[in-house]
């Protein structure tokens, strides 16, 4: 579905993205990990047509991103880091507006139902909680039936319930055959969610494999950690005490 | 994207945007309430203008029936506004120095007395004034002089070989409110078309809303057209309310064709909105746009005759300000609404607006940034 070859981007003196290559398959959840400034967001932005590409290429569904940005926009859905909407807009109107941006007319309620927001259909966006805004943002990114879905740190700042709920949603998106590319700072999230992971540092990919294989390789290299086999962790305690139900 | 789909995109965005404005009390206040307040303030300042009147005090030291009659007539006169609180000359002088009074008429104690050996009363009224009121005092003196002449004629017959008669033409002349009103419409159009986008766009950029839109196939021209469409709807509603208030409260006489007026106002909104789209579309944040808008918008607002008519300016300034984008809008509104002109009569204004639209939108498209 996606082929990235030797992608490069320079900001002034800094080589933000330094010749990275990877492929993403149809219906795969692909994670890009790395410390701040590693070049994750820049990579995403080049794939999303938001930044010009210095050299190298990105093909999505066989179309060159640099040459056909207008065609690419119909193929991709983008979830920004902090979703924001204009005040005094009803949820149904947000959906209608984004669909209209693609020239499409859609059943707004169906898209709200997908993310459990049909009760809020007539509310204004400013009445939503952080998690609800994330869910609205996800469904607006899917109104035109994209083949690739980009998420930039989707769960930053959410409570554990909202985070788990978002994971389910991302799984549901993948179940439709959409390829998902996401960045995150949470290793547990990457481990649970991602089929494959690219770890970036200083604009380069330093490792690319499934989470399991990455861990195996580390152990093979002789890594050793004191073994504490615990049957639960603190998050399990938290979820046990407060339940899995979403809070708004 | 096909043309039909494109049109659907624009209309949907415009519809939702218009609804949003009507839900937002602050936005409503600035688009509709604010210009109305200005209309009331400037309308009240101008009402009754056209009739010259003088604020005067009368210091009367005479007890004669003639003096009493004089004061009574002065009170009922439309030309004189007599301030009855002022009874001493020093008090009057104080008020004149602050221009609260234009002049003071003093009647000496002998005013209206019969001089020995005469059959008619006589006396001399004095018009006292300060330097800053010289003009109105002179005008007042000649008015009083004329009135005394008429009185004199009753007592002493004399022959007047030459006289002046004035004749009023029935043609309608413009009151200064007509100018003020057209200017205030211009102010309302600036408020929506320029102050709207330069406040909203940097905010949308800061929140990443425009950036998110730029990942969709939405084109800048579609976004501009949608904004324009909703501005036209809101603008026509706001200006219609101003027209209704001006007619009912300030007796504005609209003689022009309403359809032409509406079309012309739409043209004006489009051209002025372009300035807002260029400034707001270019600015990355509020800090960038504030100084630029002050340099461009405020001089244009004053020089184009929003708050005071352009004919009060020196000639050289009038020649320059005639070419500002807002000037033909204000002039055209006045020419159609209060002078009953048609499109064919105001081709220079329409042509100038058209030329500005080309220039402004060329720049606006060039400098627009999604983030």
For B:210-229, CB contacts with A below 8 A are 211-218
What gap in Å lies between CA B140 and CA A5, rounded to an integer?
A: 91
CB–CB of A101 and B213 under 8 A? Answer: yes
B217 has pLDDT over 90: yes
B233 has pLDDT over 70: yes
Q: Does B2 touch chain A (CB under 8 A)?
A: yes
pLDDT band at residue A248, thresholds of 50, 70 and 90?
low
What gap in Å lies between CA A136 and CA A166, rounded to an integer?
A: 11
Helix ranges, chain B (H): 3-23, 25-28, 34-46, 65-76, 89-97, 134-155, 176-190, 196-206, 209-214, 220-250, 258-282, 286-303, 315-321, 326-337, 347-367
What gap in Å lies between CA B318 and CA B324, rounded to an integer?
A: 10
B258 has pLDDT over 80: yes
Tell me how far apart the 2 most distant CA atoms of chain A are, in Å.
58
- At a CB cut-off of 8 Å and minimum separation 6, what does A99 contact? A105, A106, A108, A143, A144
**Cβ-count burial of B78 within 10 angstroms (0-12 exposed, 13-18 middle, 19+ buried)?**
exposed
Burial B120-150 (b: 16+ CB within 10 A, else e): ebebebebbbbeebeebbeebbebbeebeee
- At a CB cut-off of 8 Å and minimum separation 6, what does B150 contact? none
Out of B1, B8, B212, the one facing A80 most closely (by C-beta) is B212
Could you tell me which chain B residue has the CA closest to the CA of A150?
B215
- Give the pLDDT mean for A49-66: 92
Structure tokens at B27: 């936005």
pLDDT at B99: 79
- Give the pLDDT mean for B101-129: 84
Determine the residue among A48, A50, A78, A86 to mutate to test chain B binding: the one whose Cβ has the most chain B Cβ atoms within 10 Å: A86
* Interior angle at CA B171, CA B167 and CA B172, nearest 5: 120
CB A57 within 8 A of CB A21: no
Give the minimum alpha-carbon distance from A76 to chain B in angstroms, rounded to a whole number.
Answer: 8
pLDDT at A90: 95
Mean pLDDT lowest for which of A191-200, B41-50, B292-301, B340-349? Answer: B41-50
Q: Does A97 touch chain B (CB under 8 A)?
A: yes
The 3-state DSSP class for residue A58 equals strand
pLDDT at B133: 79
B250 has pLDDT over 70: yes
| E strand or H helix that includes residue A236 | helix A234-242
Could you tell me which chain A residue has the CA closest to the CA of B220?
A101
Question: DSSP label at B24?
Answer: -
- At a CB cut-off of 8 Å and minimum separation 6, what does B149 contact? none
- Give the pLDDT mean for B119-127: 84
pLDDT band at residue A130, thresholds of 50, 70 and 90?
confident
What does each C-alpha distance from B335 to A129, B178, B269, B330 come to in angstroms? Answer: 53, 10, 17, 9
Instruction: Please give the radius of gyration of chain A, using alpha carbons only, rounded to the nearest integer.
Output: 19
pLDDT band at residue B172, thresholds of 50, 70 and 90?
low
Of B94, B154, B71, which is closest to residue B120 (Cα–Cα)? B154
- At a CB cut-off of 8 Å and minimum separation 6, what does A74 contact? A102, A144, A146, B217
What's the mean pLDDT when you consider all of chain A?
90
pLDDT at B168: 66
Of A179, A231, A147, which is closest to residue A24 (Cα–Cα)? A179
Helix ranges, B166-257 (H): 176-190, 196-206, 209-214, 220-250
CB B333 within 8 A of CB B182: yes
CB B179 within 8 A of CB B186: no
Name every chain A residue with its beta carbon within 8 A of the beta carbon of B23.
Answer: 88, 124
Structure tokens at B89: 């000359």
pLDDT band at residue B11, thresholds of 50, 70 and 90?
very high
pLDDT band at residue B47, thresholds of 50, 70 and 90?
low
CB A179 within 8 A of CB A2: yes
What gap in Å lies between CA A238 and CA A161, rounded to an integer?
A: 10
Of A126, A26, A28, A141, which is closest to residue A81 (Cα–Cα)? A141
pLDDT at B173: 64
Q: Does B13 touch chain A (CB under 8 A)?
A: yes
Q: What are phi and psi of A23, to 5 degrees?
A: -120, 150
Q: Does A93 touch chain B (CB under 8 A)?
A: yes
- Give the pLDDT mean for A195-219: 91
Half-sphere exposure of B284 (CA within 13 A, CB side): 1
B135 has pLDDT over 90: no
Mean pLDDT lowest for which of A200-209, B110-119, B223-232? Answer: B110-119
What gap in Å lies between CA B9 and CA A97, rounded to an integer?
A: 8
B241 has pLDDT over 90: yes
What gap in Å lies between CA B169 and CA B182, rounded to an integer?
A: 25
Give the minimum alpha-carbon distance from B335 to chain A in angstroms, rounded to a whole number.
Answer: 39
B278 has pLDDT over 60: yes
CB A16 within 8 A of CB A203: yes
Out of B23, B215, B216, the one facing A88 most closely (by C-beta) is B23
Of B60, B129, B76, which is closest to residue B99 (Cα–Cα)? B129
Name every chain B residue with its beta carbon within 8 A of the beta carbon of A49.
Answer: 215
B356 has pLDDT over 90: yes
Out of A84, A87, A89, the one facing B208 most closely (by C-beta) is A84
- Give the pLDDT mean for B124-141: 83
The 3-state DSSP class for residue B322 equals coil
- Give the pLDDT mean for A152-172: 88
Name every chain A residue with its beta carbon within 8 A of the beta carbon of B12.
Answer: 96-97, 100
Structure tokens at A79: 């979830």
Give the minimum alpha-carbon distance from A107 to chain B in angstroms, rounded to a whole number.
Answer: 14
Sign of CA dihedral A225, A231, A233, A234: negative
B159 has pLDDT over 80: no
Long-range contacts of B305-308 (CB under 8 A, 24+ apart): B305/B179, B305/B182, B305/B183, B305/B186, B305/B330, B305/B331, B306/B183, B306/B184, B306/B186, B306/B187, B306/B190, B306/B330, B307/B42, B307/B183, B307/B187, B308/B180, B308/B183
pLDDT band at residue B52, thresholds of 50, 70 and 90?
low
**pLDDT tens readout for residues A20-35:** 999 999 999 999 998 8
pLDDT at A147: 94
pLDDT band at residue B175, thresholds of 50, 70 and 90?
confident
Name every chain B residue with its beta carbon within 8 A of the beta carbon of A80.
Answer: 208, 211-212
CB A152 within 8 A of CB A79: yes
What gap in Å lies between CA B295 and CA B275, rounded to an integer?
A: 13
Q: Does B143 touch chain A (CB under 8 A)?
A: no
CB B304 within 8 A of CB B321: yes
């Amino acid at each position: 579905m996606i082929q990235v070859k030797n992608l490069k981007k320079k900001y002034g003196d800094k080589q933000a993205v330094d010749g990275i290559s990877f492929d993403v398959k149809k219906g795969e959840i692909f994670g890009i990990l790395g410390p701040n400034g590693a070049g994750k967001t820049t990579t995403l932005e080049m794939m999303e047509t938001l930044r010009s590409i210095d050299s190298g290429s990105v093909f999505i569904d066989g179309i060159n991103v640099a040459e056909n940005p207008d065609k690419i926009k119909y193929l991709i859905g983008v979830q920004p880091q902090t979703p924001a909407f204009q005040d005094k807009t009803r949820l149904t109107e947000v959906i209608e507006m984004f669909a209209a941006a693609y020239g499409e007319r859609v059943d707004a309620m169906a898209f709200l139902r997908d993310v459990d927001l049909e009760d809020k259909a007539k509310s204004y966006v400013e009445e939503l909680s952080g998690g609800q805004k994330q869910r609205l943002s996800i469904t607006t990114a899917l109104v035109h039936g994209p083949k690739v879905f980009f998420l930039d740190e989707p769960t930053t700042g959410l409570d554990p319930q909202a985070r788990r709920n978002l994971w389910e949603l991302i799984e549901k998106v993948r179940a439709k055959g959409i390829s998902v590319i996401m960045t995150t700072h949470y290793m547990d999230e990457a481990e649970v969610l991602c089929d494959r992971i690219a770890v970036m540092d200083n604009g380069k990919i330093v490792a690319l494999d499934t989470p399991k294989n990455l861990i195996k390789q580390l152990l093979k290299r002789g890594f050793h950690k004191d073994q504490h086999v615990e049957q639960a962790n603190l998050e399990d305690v938290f979820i046990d005490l407060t339940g899995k139900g979403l809070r708004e | 994207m096909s043309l039909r789909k494109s049109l659907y995109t624009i209309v949907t965005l415009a519809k939702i945007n218009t609804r949003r404005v009507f839900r937002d009390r602050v936005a409503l206040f600035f688009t509709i309430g604010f210009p109305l307040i200005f209309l009331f303030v400037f309308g009240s300042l101008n009402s009754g203008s056209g009739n010259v009147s003088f604020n005067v005090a009368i210091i009367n030291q005479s007890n004669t029936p003639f003096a009493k009659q004089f004061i009574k007539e002065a009170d009922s006169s439309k030309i004189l506004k007599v301030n009855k609180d002022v009874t001493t000359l020093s008090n009057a002088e104080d008020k004149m120095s602050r221009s609260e009074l234009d002049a003071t008429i003093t009647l000496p104690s002998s005013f209206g007395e019969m001089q020995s050996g005469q059959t008619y009363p006589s006396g001399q009224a004095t018009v006292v004034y300060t330097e800053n009121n010289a003009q109105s005092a002179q005008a007042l003196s000649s008015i009083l002089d004329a009135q005394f002449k008429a009185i004199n004629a009753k007592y002493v017959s004399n022959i007047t070989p030459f006289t002046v008669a004035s004749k009023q033409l029935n043609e309608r002349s413009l009151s200064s409110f007509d100018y003020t009103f057209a200017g205030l419409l211009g102010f309302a159009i600036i408020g929506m078309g320029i102050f709207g986008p330069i406040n909203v766009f940097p905010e949308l950029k800061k929140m990443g809303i425009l950036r998110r839109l730029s990942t969709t196939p939405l084109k800048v021209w579609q976004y501009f057209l949608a904004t324009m469409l909703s501005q036209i709807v809101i603008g026509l509603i706001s200006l219609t309310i101003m027209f209704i208030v001006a007619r009912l409260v300030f007796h504005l006489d609209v003689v022009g064709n309403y359809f032409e007026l509406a079309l012309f106002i739409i043209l004006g909104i489009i051209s002025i909105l372009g300035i807002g789209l260029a400034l707001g579309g270019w600015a990355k944040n509020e800090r960038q746009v504030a100084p630029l808008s002050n340099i461009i918008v405020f001089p244009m607002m004053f020089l184009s005759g929003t708050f005071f008519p352009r004919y009060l300016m020196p000639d050289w300034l009038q020649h320059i300000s005639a070419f500002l984008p807002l000037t033909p809008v204000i002039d055209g509104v006045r020419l159609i609404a209060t002078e009953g002109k048609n499109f064919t009569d105001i081709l220079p204004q329409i042509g100038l607006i058209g030329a500005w639209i080309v220039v402004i939108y060329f720049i606006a498209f060039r400098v627009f940034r999604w983030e």
